[in-house]
Structure 1
Amino acid sequence: MTTEREATETSGSQLAGPPVRTHRWGFGAFLFVFAVFVLSAVVIGAIVGTVAPESTNSATVALVGTIVPTVLATVVALLVTKLRGNGPAVDLRWSFTREDVRAGFKFGALGLVCTTVAAVVWTNVVGEENASSAVSQLVENERMPISAAIAMFLFVWLVGPICEEVIYRGLLWGALERLAWGRWAVFGLTTVIFAVSHLEPLRTSLLLVIGIPIGLARLFTGRLGASIVTHQVNNFLPALAVLLVALGVMPA
């Protein structure tokens, strides 16, 4: 019988069947992690609103309210795999091989093309005034300290993609495979949930397009490293644009 570790090492050039899942966590773990994300964001907002209500709309405070819940939810997801499974390397297919990086750049390049075209179409549909992400809106009307702007850039480009991939194409993907869903069904549902769970209804269709090449990287390699790199490549230009706007170098 093929073990989980052997399945993890399957060549990314072949679309193998779903690996055998032996962990004790499932879809409930994903729901719990998502609840941690939402509740921690609410708690941070409530604390700021009570202690320093004048800072509620501050870009720096909003940034903290985005980073902390995301990182906290990711830590909980990793703990779930350690406490009720085989650890992230096996359960989440966590790896960063040379093959993963190459595949990530290939799918990332595809993602940049698809996202650019989709963003142009989407902007024409919703209008220029509505064509900003939640992160972009944080910096459009307020200059940020350089340290906060750099932190935001690094989070959007590097850290955020790692966190989101652990949660959606690691934990959620593994939970659906444990339910014996087929690879393409898992790819489709995780892409939809990824888009919807950003809680930006106007951008959901665009996020679906963004999520497709990222999910394909996970689908065709069978590993999380490729989707992380794809996500990071896809996020680089938007992160750079937000940084330049935050520093006042580029107009909003």
Structure 2
Amino acid sequence: MKNFLWWLCLFVAPAVLIAVELFHPAGFTASPGMYQFLSHAEPHAEHSALAYFGPHWWFVLHMIQTPMVGLVAVGLWLMVDGIGARDGTAARVSAWLARVAIFVFALYFTILDAIGGIGLGRTILVVQQMVAAGKLSPQQFEGVVLLLNTLWVDPVVGGVGSFVSETASWAAFAVSVLVAAALLQSGRAGWPNMIPLLGFGWELQTAHASPHGPIAFALLIVAAAWLWWARRRAVPAGPA
């Protein structure tokens, strides 16, 4: 079962995230503005994404992203699975701190996706439906757009630079550092193996949108594959 979860969480889920994050735009907050950009499709490469397919895609993207990040969190937990007293106090402490960081990472990325991804995407679609049905006057529509743009940059729950966003981002970096520390201190990995893992954390801390998100999850696949290969080599061969 653990082998299945390892491949599902550290290869399949990151691969899916690479695919969807290539179409996750970024850098649109200041210009043209969150609602102004996300409310319609941008079929050409713009704002770091290969393309953007409109608010329906923003909703679907985050519906896919949220469970995939959850699976990645399970995979990161598996990386430190089994580290205990025999591996030394330092490794054991690092492993437990890594588990705490993984919990925070999964929790706050879920909150961020729920507010700034799934919820926002559906809200934009509902607003557009209400406008099309004549249920919002131009003045009301302007008020809704102002509210959504203001919430997007809210310091607590906003999609960029908020407490929720920054907590999720730095938790991702903390996870990579602590998992690497636990594996190094327990002798289960070497520095060359852990460099891609640290790169994963740094890139994901920078942003999960394109291009940083795809780079991060590609590095995670490299780190996981390397660790898997190293563990397979370390297993003693059975008697002939």
Relative contact order, higher structure (CA 8 A, sep 6+): 1
Whichever structure has more helix as a proportion of its residues is: 1
TM-score of the alignment, normalized to the shorter chain, above 0.5: no
TM-score in terms of structure 1 length: 0.31
